[in-house]
Amino acid sequence: MVAVHGLGGVGKSTLTAHFAAGQADRFSLVWWVVADSATAIDTGLADLAVAVAPETVEMPLEQRTELGVRWLATHTDWLLVLDNLTGPADAAGLLDRVHTGTIVITSRQGSGWRGMQTVALDVLPAEQAVELLTRIVRAEWPDADLTGAGTLCAELGWLPLAIEQAGAYLGQLRINPTVYLDLLARFRHGCSPRPRKAATLNAP
């Protein structure tokens, strides 16, 4: 059982998704549950029950949730991801009952994960953040003007996911970080950050 924790946008879900995809052959079942509320957890477990036993689809949610938990408790070699769990107490009933597979939790909470291996993710150092932005932009736009890249990364809080999204946006629209910063400022004042025509932004 592993808890991956860190700030929102730092890349917890992305890291976990890469792990799940890369290790899928090790598991008889890989199941991803959005775990940001008790209802979401119950729904995810109920959907698991239907996936492994389609005849349960007409059962009430509560029964399907219980069947999902029972399936996990009586089978091995599965991977369950609880994504964006608020804290360990929110899944205590489930965690107390299932011990025969692998559970990976992502959460913003950094404490309270007793008996679990923990992985703390942090924001990127400045140099790595700029390198990440540069790599993503130049994959789409090899001769991109990246003036202001460091300032943009700082504005985005050095968060990997935010930098990845910004880099994809810059590369697709062929705009430099300085222009993007201006768009962010306009957006915060109620204007849309998406230009009507990229060519307008590229004009001198």
Let me know whether 88 and 170 are in one domain.
Answer: no
pTM over 0.85: no
**CATH for 106:** 3.40.50.300
Q: Which of 72, 90, 120 is the last residue of a domain?
A: 120
Q: What is the pLDDT of residues 28-73, one digit of tens each?
A: 999 999 999 999 999 999 999 999 999 999 999 999 999 999 999 9
Let me know whether 161 and 93 are in one domain.
Answer: no
Q: What is the pLDDT of residues 9-19, one digit of tens each?
A: 888 998 899 78
Let me know whether 13 and 113 are in one domain.
Answer: yes
Let me know whether 178 and 94 are in one domain.
Answer: no
Sign of CA dihedral 124, 12, 8, 156: positive
Let me know whether 162 and 112 are in one domain.
Answer: no
Q: Which of 105, 120, 135 is the last residue of a domain?
A: 120
Give residue 151's domain range: 126-202
Question: 38, 87 in Cβ contact below 8 A?
Answer: no
Let me know whether 88 and 181 are in one domain.
Answer: no
